[in-house]
């Protein structure tokens, strides 16, 4: 069932994204190719990844993951619960409001803004972390911090266009959800990297990786990843 939902989210978000951006993969020109790359690399993958991360969080809270990862997800529980509560409150407000819902609102995407900021702070902490296993912080300073900052700037820019009425309702929803799912990935990934770095131990999410269907590409070798993680953990 997990693999079916993964494929449904992946294919659904891809089709929706192509319609939203108005890209024909067959006849795409230079600008449309960039838009297509945005859909394929920055938006679509994070829809099913959000679902898998939610499952991991739920399983960890029910003691169906290692104690090590349960501790990690517990450290993120306040943020996740806060996001869920905010979403419920927003839904209630719009449901009770007399004016009709404005599709140019940035409520969904707005939930993602602080997540990008938290991710940036996590990467900043990582850049200042010095341990026996971490000799250089170049990755965090040169790649991870700029990426999270770029995500926030892009989300703000696209949200401004949305509030100015540049998008139709179906476009607005897809764009806002994509921003939120992308920001959530940044949050969890940055927190995981920082958690692993501080504790000097990496744990491979075997069940999460196993839930990703083989879509014609070579599957990730879980055993190889485990060996590499164990090697790093022992160093």
* Among 70, 74, 71, 50, residue whose Cα is nearest residue 60: 70
- The winner for highest mean pLDDT among 122-136, 163-177, 186-200, 216-230 is 186-200
Q: What is the CB-side half-sphere exposure of residue 159 using CA atoms within 13 A?
A: 20
75 pLDDT more than 90: yes
- The winner for highest mean pLDDT among 44-48, 83-87, 103-107 is 44-48
In angstroms, the CA 54 to CA 213 distance is: 17
Q: What is the pLDDT of residues 111-144, one digit of tens each?
A: 888 999 999 999 999 998 887 777 667 788 888 8
Supply angle C-alpha 186, 189, 194, rounded to 5. 120
Average pLDDT, integer, range 217-226: 70
34 pLDDT more than 90: no
CB 208 within 8 A of CB 58: no
Token pair of 177 as six digits: 């959800």
In angstroms, the CA 97 to CA 87 distance is: 15
pLDDT of residue 16: 93
Token pair of 160 as six digits: 């401004």
> How far, CA to CA in Å, does 97 sit from each of 49, 94, 102, 165?
33, 5, 11, 21
219 pLDDT more than 70: no
Residue-wise over 116-151: b if at least 16 C-beta within 10 A, else e? bbbbbebbbebeeeeeeeeeebeebeeebbebbeeb
User: Can you give the pTM of this predicted structure?
Assistant: 0.88
CB 13 within 8 A of CB 182: no
């Amino acid at each position: 069932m997990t693999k079916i939902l993964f494929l449904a989210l992946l294919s659904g978000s891809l089709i929706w994204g192509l319609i939203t951006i108005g890209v024909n993969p067959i006849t795409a020109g230079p600008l449309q190719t960039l838009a297509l790359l945005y859909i394929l690399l920055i938006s679509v993958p994070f829809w099913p990844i959000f679902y898998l991360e939610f499952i991991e969080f739920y399983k960890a809270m029910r003691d169906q993951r290692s104690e090590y990862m349960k501790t990690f997800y517990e450290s993120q529980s306040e943020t996740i619960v806060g996001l869920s509560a905010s979403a419920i409150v927003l839904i209630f407000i719009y449901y009770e409001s007399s004016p009709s819902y404005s599709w140019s609102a940035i409520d969904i995407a707005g939930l993602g803004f602080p997540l990008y900021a938290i991710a940036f702070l996590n990467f900043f902490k990582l850049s200042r972390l010095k341990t026996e296993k971490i000799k250089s912080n170049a990755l965090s300073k040169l790649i991870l911090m700029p990426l999270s900052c770029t995500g926030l700037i892009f989300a703000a820019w696209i949200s401004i266009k949305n509030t100015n009425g540049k998008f139709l309702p179906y476009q607005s929803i897809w764009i806002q959800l994509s921003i939120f799912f992308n920001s959530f990935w940044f949050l969890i990934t940055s927190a995981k990297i920082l958690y692993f770095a501080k504790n000097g131990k990496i744990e491979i999410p075997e069940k999460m990786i196993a839930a990703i269907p083989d879509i014609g590409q070579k599957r990730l070798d879980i055993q190889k990843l485990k060996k590499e993680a164990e090697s790093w953990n022992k160093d």
